[in-house]
């Protein structure tokens, strides 16, 4: 070993290998190695009581579900050379607008597909969430429980807040301390940007998520009025469906009449699940399959 290091270039090789090893470890630690931090609590919080099962059998079709607590209707439309799935959701209580984390655990690189999480939680309807586990910052508050209170301080920092009444509002994390929101917050999503505020489109034709293409598969959520929501998933990156820009996505919500709309994780993550099946065509542009993600937004009991 001593003889090996007598040649100067061999020290360079040694340190190069150390640097490469360190770099590979950082990549694995960031994107691959699972880190379980907290098991998800199942106790009702912020006055949210456990939701009840329907008293009578629901009415279910290929694109709709209705019982005394919720009504879901899904329309498929063609706009902007893209296939767009529009879910109109009406609830009697915000408690039915739920979230779930992969493996029932809050952590880093803990991932499952949207359909796996939906089935584990007996979801009637589900879409992918904000992929919180891909980042170290950004508020994470789900089903009334706060898991991460570190705000994003660079780039887009708009978060979607859903209060205990089910009403949407947009905050800037760098300007809003989590504690200042008080109790009674039901969900916070940290991705963005906001698409519609006060009924007005707040992105333009140049807006885009960092490092994304102009037209992409998309997932986004909006509110029309009290306990009345729209969730849109658009296919993209295929010959059959180009995908949407953020401005085109915002226009869809504005045309429907949403007062607030917010962009969730898109691209290969964009997935819509309904009544036991994935109904869109998830793809990353290279292959057609669901991407494993950190979390979902779902409707269910």
User: Are residues 97 and 14 part of one domain?
Assistant: no
Name the CA dihedral angle for 174, 176, 177, 180, rounded to a multiple of 10 degrees: 180
User: Are residues 84 and 20 part of one domain?
Assistant: no
Query: Which of the 8 DSSP states describes residue 183?
Result: S
User: Are residues 86 and 6 part of one domain?
Assistant: no
User: Are residues 168 and 137 part of one domain?
Assistant: yes
Least confident of 71-80, 95-104, 214-223: 214-223
User: Are residues 68 and 29 part of one domain?
Assistant: no
User: Are residues 95 and 28 part of one domain?
Assistant: no
User: Are residues 161 and 264 part of one domain?
Assistant: yes
Output the pTM of the full model.
0.85
Whether 261 has a pLDDT exceeding 90, the answer reads yes
Domain region containing 254: 38-300
User: Are residues 131 and 82 part of one domain?
Assistant: yes
**Quick check: 86 and 232 in contact, CB under 8 A?**
yes
Domain count, the chain: 2
Contacts of 12 (CB under 8 A, 6+ apart): none
Report pLDDT for 285: 65
Span 6-24, mean pLDDT? 51
Report pLDDT for 284: 73
User: Are residues 53 and 165 part of one domain?
Assistant: yes
36 C-beta neighbours (distance < 10 Å), count: 12
Q: Which whole-number Å values give the CA distances from 34 to 128, 139, 159, in the listed order?
A: 19, 20, 25
User: Are residues 138 and 59 part of one domain?
Assistant: yes
Span 23-32, mean pLDDT? 46
Whether 26 has a pLDDT exceeding 50, the answer reads no
User: Are residues 5 and 151 part of one domain?
Assistant: no
User: Are residues 140 and 18 part of one domain?
Assistant: no
Report pLDDT for 139: 97
């Amino acid at each position: 070993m001593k003889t090996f290091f007598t040649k100067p270039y061999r020290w360079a090789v040694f340190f190069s290998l150390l640097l490469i090893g360190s770099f590979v470890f950082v990549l694995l630690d960031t994107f691959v190695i699972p880190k379980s931090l907290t098991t998800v609590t199942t106790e009702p919080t912020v006055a949210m009581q456990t939701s009840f099962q329907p008293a009578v059998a629901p009415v279910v079709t290929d694109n709709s579900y209705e019982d005394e607590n919720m009504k879901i209707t899904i329309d498929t439309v063609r706009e902007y050379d893209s296939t767009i799935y529009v879910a109109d959701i009406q609830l009697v209580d915000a408690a039915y607008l739920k979230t779930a984390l992969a493996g029932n655990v809050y952590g880093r690189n803990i991932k499952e597909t949207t359909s796996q999480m939906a089935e584990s939680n007996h979801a009637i309807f589900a879409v992918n969430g904000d992929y919180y586990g891909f980042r170290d910052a950004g508020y994470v508050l789900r089903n009334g429980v706060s898991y991460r209170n570190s705000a994003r301080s660079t780039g887009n920092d708009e978060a979607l807040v859903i209060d205990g009444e089910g009403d949407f509002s947009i905050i800037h994390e760098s300007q809003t301390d989590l504690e200042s929101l008080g109790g009674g917050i039901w969900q916070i999503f940290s991705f963005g940007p906001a698409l519609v505020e006060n009924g007005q489109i707040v992105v333009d034709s140049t807006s885009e998520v960092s490092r994304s293409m102009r037209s992409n598969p998309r997932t986004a959520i909006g509110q029309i009025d009290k306990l009345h929501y729209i969730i849109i998933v658009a296919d993209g990156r295929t010959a059959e469906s180009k995908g949407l820009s953020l401005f085109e996505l915002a226009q869809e919500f504005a045309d429907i009449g949403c007062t607030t709309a917010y962009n969730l994780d898109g691209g290969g993550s964009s997935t819509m699940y309904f009544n036991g099946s994935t109904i869109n065509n998830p793809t990353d542009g290279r292959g057609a399959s669901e991407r494993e993600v950190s979390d979902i937004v779902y409707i269910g009991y």
